[in-house]
Structure formats: C-alpha cells, structure tokens
Amino acid sequence: MRPKIASYFARHTFTALLKRPGTKLLIGLLNLLVFAALLSGYGNVREQRTIIKDYQTEVRERWESNPDKHPHRMAHYGYVVFRDPYPLSFFDRGLENYLGNAIFLEAHRQNTANYSTASLSTGLLRFGELSGAMVLQALLPLLLFFWGFASVAGEREDGKLKLIFAQGARWSELLLGRAAGLFCAAATVWLPAFLLTGVLLAFFLSSAELGATLLRYGLLLLTYGLYLFVLSLFTVWVSAMSKTAKTALLRLIGCWLLFVLVIPKVAQVVGEVLYPTLSKLSFDRAVEADLLEQGDSHNPDDPYFVGLRDSMLAVYGVTSTKELPFNYGGFIMREGEKLSTATFRRHEARLMTRFGQQQGIVRWTSLFDPYVAIKYVSMALAGTDYYAYQNFREQAEDYRYSLAQTMNELQMELIGNDIASSADKRAALSRQYWIDFADFHQRPVALSSSLRTEWLPLLILVAWSVVLIVPALFLRRPVSIL
C-alpha cells in the first residue's frame, strides 16, 4: 500500500462529502445535539452533586449534634451516605439512572441503596436519556453509514471503479483511504464533543480529582476514536461487498438496528434465562433463614450464644457475666454483628457473582457488536458502570460495619456491667465520641481497576480494527469491481 495514494482517497472522500448538499447542516445539527446533551448532563450532575453535598453535610451535623447517650442508640440512629457521581458521568450517564443514590446505614442490618432516578421517573426514561455518549455511540454511526454506504458500491454502479483500478490504484489504498476519509467526517462531531467535554471538566473539577479524571478523559477520547474508526472501516467494507449502493444502505441500516436495539436486548434475555436471580423476597428469606440458624444474640437461651458466654466465663474465671471486666451486652452485640455481617456478605457476594455472569453474557456480544463494546468501556471510564457502583456500596457497608462495631466497643469498654437499660443516665457517653467518629468519604475507584473489569471489550474493539484492516492490505480482487 502506498500511503500517498491512500491519503489522496481519504482527502477526496472527505472533501466530496463536505460538498454534498446537507452534509454541513447534518454535522451542525449533530454538534448542536451533542452540545445540548453535554450541557444538560453537566447541569444535572452539578446539581446532583450540590444536593448530595448539602445533605451529606446535614447528615454529619445531625450526627454530631446528638446529645450524650448510650452508644447503642447511636448505632441504631445510624448514618446516611449518598453516592457522589463521578465527574465524567455528565458525558456518559451509563447506569446512573438505575442506581440507588442513598443508603441508610444502621446496626444489625444492611439496607438497600434507594432513590434511584428510575424509581422517581415516568415512562419517558425508558426511551433512554440524551447524553454525549449516546449521540457518539448510536447516532453518529448511523450518520457514518449514510455518508459511506455508496463509497465503493456507488462507484461500482457508475463504472468508476474500473477507471480507478485502471489507473493503478490498489484495493488496500481505496478501502483504507475511503475509511480514513469517513473517519475525518466523524471527527467533525467526535472532536468538538470532546473539546466541550474537556472545557466543562475544567470548570467542574477540584484539583484533587484532576489527575485521575484527565487520564480517564484521555482514554475516552481515544476509545471513541477507535470505535468510530472501526465503524468507518466497517461501512466501507459493507459498501465494497454489496452489489449496489441500495443494498449497502439496507445492510448498514439493518446492522445498526441489530447493534443498537436487537443484540443488547436479546443478550439481556439470554442472560436472564441462563442466570436467573432471586427475587428480593427470596433473597431476604434466605439471609434470614441463615441468621436464624446461626443464633440469635437477643435470645438468652440461644445455644450458640450460651456456649460463647460459658467460654468467656471460663477464660475470665468468673461465675456471672456481671463480673466480666467488660460490658457483656456490648460484647454479644459485637459478636452478633460479626456473624450476621459475614452471612449477609456471603449472600450478597453470590448475588454479585450472578449479576457478573449476566453482564458477562452481554459483554461477550461485543464480539459481533462494537456498540456493546464501546458502551461497556465508556461506562467504565466515565465511572457509571456497575463496578464503580458496587465499589461505592462496599465502602458504605464497610463504614456501616465500623460504625456499629465502634459503638459496640465503646459500650464494652465504657459502660458498667450492672447497667441493664439504655435509658440509664450512667450509660450516657459524651457526644465527643460521635464527633470523633470520622465522616464517610467516598473514594473513587482507581482507573486501573476500571480497566481491569473491561479489558475484554476494549481488546475486542482493537481486534475489530485489526480484522478490518489486515485483509484490506492483502486483498487482491475477491470482490467484483464491475
């Protein structure tokens, strides 16, 4: 392949496209749409962040202003944590709308994350939400197909193809050149979209988030470039392999429908049939059944806790729990929390494995659907994927556990064994202890772990481009030029 000739084809494709009536209008409209989507998403995420910050502060103030009291009351009073959206979530909404935004954390039980946008939305949400990512993933490819369906097939119909080859051009030069020209056309939407995203990010970010987010931004930019390049190649190939431009167009539109609407939905059904999940009711029942089996710390005759008590009495060489050097009630609750948390986490882990298997089915369809591939990679880079969400939930659960256990330990150490009721004045601990218990701070997931979860679709995107480039280089004349 001679780069000079290929680049001639690329330039020619691009300038001819721009000269076509309506092209500039379409580019303008799509840019407008991307801008509107980005600005609206930006406003939305900003507002969400302000709301969450306000409420998180309020939760903290309310927590600290609790008066002196028995620590177990504080364990029940609990805490509320809010999910802080990642900066780039304004670019790609990802799962955002379907994820819980707030969790009430309390002793003894793990509550679900509630108040997802979906639970507060009308049926409109089911059409999807306009976002920069959506325009680049779904609408821009359709436009590319329209621009490129005739790129080879049209010339075959007009008889120009013969002329081109008669002048000594090669298949590789034609195919790759045309694809590069199409890619340039795609860049008229892709680059401005990322330019605006970059500008908005600059407004948005605190310096602490800057480094990690810029790296994510850069990778997003490149991945979308790769995706659009793959689709440009794909368009040219389909056009080259179709007899007429009309057939090429029909095939490309069919592919678009398959990529965007059909394959993801069918994969979802397959995932659900192959890996069914428990209903919330069954899940709760299973957890409860296990908890009942392992012992009830509230029941004085429960065999597990009776055994624990007897061993404690033996270790300390005393005859009654009242003589133990620590508060026995606090000790029992600490052990109970340890057990119930382990049980819950076991069930939760099983459920997460299931979700993972379900998502795996959809992920593998990126082998024949680049749209699915970019969707996964983009969500992961924007921090709106399931991994980032699960990470938040784990942080919240760790915080809950440490809150409950801190309160139990305060009770063990500081409250006398003769105190039976939490209402007893002698059981009240200073509120300084609540103030000393640090606030919840959501830590963003590291870029490396986001990438570790989505290496497969990323690799598949790269593979798509290789598969579409390499045969073009060695193509002699398998497709008719007539």
Partner 1 sequence: MISYLLKDFARSNTLLAGISLLLVTGLISIYIGHLFLEKQAAVTAEAAEVQRESIAHTLDFVADDDLGLFLYYVRFGLVNETPQLAGLAIGDRDVHPATQHVTIRNLEEQRHGSILRNPLFQLLGNLDFSFVLIFLFPLVIIAFCFNVLSEEREGGTWSLVLSQTGRPQRVLYQKVLLRFAAVQLTLAVLLIIAKFWLRIPVDAYFLTFAAVAVLYVTFWFSLSWLVVRQGRSCNQNALSLLLAWILLLIVVPSALQATVNNLYPTPEAYSAMLESRDGYHNKWDEPIGPTLEKFRKLYPQFAAYEHPEGAPFGWLWYYAMQHLGDAEGATATAELREKLRQRNTFSEVAGYLFPSVHTQLTLSALSRSDLANYLAFQDRLAAFHEDKRLTFYPEIFAEHAVSSLDWNGYAPEYFQDDRRVDWLTVLLPPLLAIVVLLLIARLTGRPYALAEPVGSAKSLP
Out of 8, 35, 115, 364, which residue is the one contacting partner 1 (CB under 8 A)? 115
Q: What is the DSSP letter of 237?
A: H
Out of 10, 13, 81, 82, which residue is the one contacting partner 1 (CB under 8 A)? 82
Residue 5 CB partners (closer than 8 Å, separation 6+) = 169, 170, 173, 177
Residues 182-241 that bind partner 1 (CB under 8 A): none
Residue 421 found at the interface with partner 1 (CB under 8 A): yes
By CB under 8 A, which span of 55-63, 159-167, 218-226, 326-334 interacts with partner 1? 55-63
Distances in whole angstroms, Cα of residue 287 to Cα of each of 100, 106, 392, 396, 419: 21, 17, 22, 19, 32
Residue 41 found at the interface with partner 1 (CB under 8 A): yes
Residue 410 found at the interface with partner 1 (CB under 8 A): no
Scanning 295-382, the segments in alpha helix (DSSP H) are 303-316, 328-364, 370-382
Residue 28 found at the interface with partner 1 (CB under 8 A): no
Residue 290 found at the interface with partner 1 (CB under 8 A): no
Distances in whole angstroms, Cα of residue 350 to Cα of each of 338, 344, 364, 462: 19, 10, 21, 32
User: Which pairing describes strands 79-82 and 102-106: parallel, antiparallel, or unpaired?
Assistant: antiparallel
CB of 288 vs partner 1, minimal distance in Å = 8
Question: Sign of dihedral through CA atoms 114, 115, 118, 120?
Answer: positive
CB of 216 vs partner 1, minimal distance in Å = 20
Start-to-end Cα distance in the chain: 22
Task: Give me the 326-365 binding string for partner 1, x by CB under 8 A, dash otherwise.
Answer: -------------------------x---x--xx--x---
Nearer to partner 1, 425 or 476 (CB): 425
SS3 102: strand
Residue 163 found at the interface with partner 1 (CB under 8 A): no
How far apart are alpha carbons 312 and 310 in whole angstroms?
5
Residue 32 found at the interface with partner 1 (CB under 8 A): no
Residue 95 found at the interface with partner 1 (CB under 8 A): yes
CB of 88 vs partner 1, minimal distance in Å = 17
How far apart are alpha carbons 216 and 195 in whole angstroms?
14
How far apart are alpha carbons 117 and 132 in whole angstroms?
19
How far apart are alpha carbons 268 and 284 in whole angstroms?
25
Residues 125-144 that bind partner 1 (CB under 8 A): 125-130, 134, 138-139, 142
CB of 170 vs partner 1, minimal distance in Å = 30
CB of 218 vs partner 1, minimal distance in Å = 25
Residue 36 found at the interface with partner 1 (CB under 8 A): yes
Give the closest residue to 147 by CA, choosing from 234, 271, 270, 272: 234
In sequence order, the β-bridge partners of residue 103 are 81
By CB under 8 A, which span of 199-207, 214-222, 274-282, 440-448 interacts with partner 1? 274-282
Residue 386 found at the interface with partner 1 (CB under 8 A): yes
Out of 168, 206, 208, 280, which residue is the one contacting partner 1 (CB under 8 A)? 280
Residue 10 found at the interface with partner 1 (CB under 8 A): no
